[in-house]
Amino acid sequence: MDRLSFDLATGQRTIANYTITDDATSPATVTPSSGILEDLFDLRPSNFITVAVGTQAFRINIDTGASSDTVAETSFLAILGHNFEYADAVFKFEYSDNADFATYTGTNVSFVGGGTKSVAVPSGNSFADFVVGNVITMSGSTSNNGTFTIASTPDDNTITVSESITTEGSGDTVTVTTVTNVTTTGNHTKIINAAADSTAGYIDPANNGWTLISFTDPGTTGTNQYKRITIEDDDGAGSNFSQAPQIGAVLMGDLIDFPHSPDANLGFDIDYDGTKIVTSSGGSTFANTSYLGSPAWAKSNPWVLVTSAIENEGSYQSRTYGRRRYNMNLSYVSDDDLFQSNMRAGHGAMVDGSDLYSQFFHKCLGSHLPFLLTIDGSIVDSEGDYGLFRLADGGLFSKQIAPHTWNTKLNLVEHW
């Protein structure tokens, strides 16, 4: 369930809260050479942006606007319709509660804690980008590695944290950061086309097409209001891309499992609904086709992983047509699996609930928003099991068949 399009659709965010910039210390806006910023968030992967070869490293920045870690949490990232193999591009995904993603590495730094002081030699340091409330991660010290919370506004030389810390000398090279790098090995699960790069903390997709990772957002113990995806050439941020990078859609949000399995009589159809048969006055029939299937993505057919560009003959021959549909009944669903116990509950239940209403119907706004679906969660690494779908019926329809027990149905139709 995509958080980005949901926030845009409900007015909680505007496109001004989502930006593309370079990775300079004072970042400048990057304007796509084709397409517009909005194309990244319209959930139409065939509608892609192109970034110029010479842009070098650039970032897609997301301000969720949520100071609550629970409200801002996400658990998956999908980049659809990309050509990262063709462009020789790698990416990393980070989040922070600090808009500047502040990091300091050096030997001359002083930390003050709850009654215990850690002393180094403060000389020419600047913590101007660190703010009260930032959860920082300290590494490289002798005895104070870990997570701490900034308690007061730092001066140029000193960070004061809420927790007690121990005394240490000035010789350590200490890193203090407000940033969590999700794409660091161990911080995420690789699902589709997400091989680790030789540079730590980056993902290097082996194919054009799309990439999917999942992860555990820290929730109430983390720092996650701001998210950013940094994309750069495999040779580093100072190198031009091999080809102009292209991206069709970015999805970021909640990965959910339905709490109840459908009945065994699941319906699966492939509908060629773009064709109408016209009969002439003489009785002859003609096919009038407005579309055959999903449009091609930047350098691949939809949901296909390829190392070659789509222009080759094999890509055209492997193209699939038609629109997928799933029709399913869910019988004997307990009321707490289908509904919230309090249908007007606060935001915590809407974000972290386990019922179909809050986690599915609410987050796709009925049939308004598409969602990324795999019908079989046990085959999560098979790209052919995925697609963008909408709720065809537009709402939640249910019938009580016993106390606290309900029947409902879901009709899902492929979206492009």
Q: Is 258 a domain residue?
A: no
Q: Which of 132, 124, 128 lies closest to 106 in space, CA to CA?
A: 124
What is the phi/psi pair of residue 70, to 5°?
-65, -45
- Are the CB atoms for 286 and 373 separated by under 8 Å? no
- Are the CB atoms for 258 and 408 separated by under 8 Å? no
What's the pLDDT at 174?
84
**Same domain membership, residue 48 and residue 186:** yes
**Token digits of residue 251:** 């999805």
Burial of residue 6 (CB within 10 Å: 0-12, 13-18, 19+) is buried
**Same domain membership, residue 159 and residue 85:** no
What's the pLDDT at 313?
46
Q: Is 313 a domain residue?
A: no
Q: Is 298 a domain residue?
A: no
| HEC readout, 274-297 | CEEEEECCCCCEEEEECCCCCCCC
Q: Is 56 a domain residue?
A: yes
Q: Is 259 a domain residue?
A: no
What's the pLDDT at 27?
93
**Same domain membership, residue 198 and residue 93:** yes
- Are the CB atoms for 21 and 30 separated by under 8 Å? yes
**Same domain membership, residue 110 and residue 59:** no
**Same domain membership, residue 238 and residue 93:** yes
Work out how many domains the chain is built from and give that number: 3
**Same domain membership, residue 226 and residue 94:** yes
**Of 178, 208, 227, which residue sits at a domain end?**
178
**Same domain membership, residue 71 and residue 128:** no
**Same domain membership, residue 219 and residue 172:** no
- Are the CB atoms for 249 and 45 separated by under 8 Å? yes
**Same domain membership, residue 200 and residue 345:** no
**Same domain membership, residue 241 and residue 203:** yes
**Of 129, 154, 178, which residue sits at a domain end?**
178
**Same domain membership, residue 63 and residue 14:** yes
What is d(CA 40, CA 15) in angstroms, rounded to the nearest whole number?
10
pLDDT tens string, the chain, 416 residues long: the values are 999 999 999 999 999 999 999 998 889 999 999 999 999 999 999 999 999 999 999 999 999 998 887 788 899 999 999 999 999 999 999 999 999 998 888 776 677 888 777 765 455 567 888 889 888 888 888 888 888 999 988 877 788 889 988 887 667 788 889 999 999 999 999 999 999 999 999 999 999 999 999 998 765 555 789 999 999 999 999 999 999 999 999 999 998 888 888 898 889 999 999 999 999 999 999 999 999 999 999 999 999 998 865 555 456 667 889 999 999 999 999 999 999 888 776 666 777 788 999 999 999 999 999 999 998 777 677 888 899 999 998 889 999 999 999 999 999 999 99
**Of 158, 178, 198, which residue sits at a domain end?**
178
* Strand ranges across the sheet with 180-181: 18-22, 58-63, 226-233, 89-96, 180-181
Q: What is the CATH number of the domain that holds 34?
A: 2.60.120.260
**Same domain membership, residue 249 and residue 197:** yes
Q: Is 294 a domain residue?
A: no
Domain span at residue 235? 3-98+181-253
What's the pLDDT at 122?
55
List helix spans (H) across 341-381.
347-352, 356
- Are the CB atoms for 180 and 72 separated by under 8 Å? no
Q: Is 113 a domain residue?
A: yes
Q: Is 128 a domain residue?
A: yes
